[in-house]
Structure 1
């Protein structure tokens, strides 16, 4: 925006008083707040999955004493099995650093969870994501199954494909084919990646809704536009654990 020199003091004053504006699809400092979500994926040894899950169930309260757990799921379909996926919420990066420092000093957490469990984990992945400004995190009305759809978009960021992607998602939401839990944009990890978390009553209701949406011309038009910017897509069916806040 071009500001004439004579009007600069007035423009600076207006900027100070006006609320911060958010991009329709942005991350980082363009977000309305600094809250971010850490996506963690653990790949378990096939014979150790049950042992790991029982240990987490027994001791997860030691971890949630330090920061907020959004959800914890096992992967039923999509990609490698014997995998768990969980989301943690942080106020900002200073908050996360404080939490990690506290965990390092928590002897009970280290002895009862970290030491016995790390031997069961083959690999772990971690992404930092922001909830996009045009949606908020929703809680489903009852227990069900979740689908995490991950879209790798073309380089260029939301300025290139954000509006088309939003229209594709809202077309599904507005027509009631699935319940949207949240849309997240990766900040650290593979860039130009968007994660959409959906909820359905069951895997069968999800399949039925998906088939109906594919026959709805309103959805087809919106998706066709977004697909022009799509590189790849992966879907996972997630089963919430008994201790997951999102059931």
Structure 2
């Protein structure tokens, strides 16, 4: 399994509006293509962050599913609506150890 962790640092005070927009317009598109493991907001440590976890069988599957998402006209229209909220975005690929409960 390959897990992708994406962290979006939003402008202060923008989490409620971002989450409302995402839930209304982005969530169904995302889960149509990508296998969501979790969607979180930060409470302690770096604040104003939305953290998402996506699980894939392989990097090839990740690349294929993301390409399909990015080609969807509805996703293309949705993306620019989120950019005014986002300061930075970070993506990390996580691979489980042999003893990890998530494989």
Q: Do these two structures clear the TM 0.5 threshold for a shared fold by scoring above it? A: yes
Structure 2 partner of 1:145: 2
* Per-residue CA distance 1:87-137 (angstroms, 9 max, x = gap): xxxxxxxxxxxxxxxxxxxxxxxxxxxxxxxxxxxxxxxxxxxxxxxxxxx
Structure 1 partner of 2:94: 238
Q: Confirm or deny: 8 A CA contact 2:29 2:69 kept in the other structure.
A: no
Could you say which structure has the greater relative contact order, defined with CA pairs below 8 angstroms and 6 or more residues apart?
2
The alignment status of 1:162 with 2:19, answered yes or no, reads: yes
- The 4+ residue runs of structure 1 with deviation greater than 3 A are none
* Per-residue CA distance 1:23-78 (angstroms, 9 max, x = gap): xxxxxxxxxxxxxxxxxxxxxxxxxxxxxxxxxxxxxxxxxxxxxxxxxxxxxxxx
Equivalences, count:
102
Structure 1 partner of 2:30: 172
Cα distance between partner residues in 2 of 1:222 and 1:171: 9
Cα distance between partner residues in 2 of 1:224 and 1:169: 15
Cα distance between partner residues in 1 of 2:57 and 2:92: 15
Q: Quote how far apart the aligned CAs of 1:228 are.
A: 2.1
- SS of equivalent to 1:160: helix
Pairs within 5 Å for 1:69-148: 144-148=1-5
What runs of 5+ residues in structure 2 fail to find an aligned partner? none
Q: Quote how far apart the aligned CAs of 1:194 are.
A: 0.7
Give the root-mean-square deviation of aligned CA atoms. Answer: 1.4
In the superposition, the TM-score normalised over structure 2's length comes to 0.88
- SS of equivalent to 1:188: coil
Q: Which has the larger radius of gyration?
A: 1
What runs of 5+ residues in structure 1 fail to find an aligned partner? 1-143
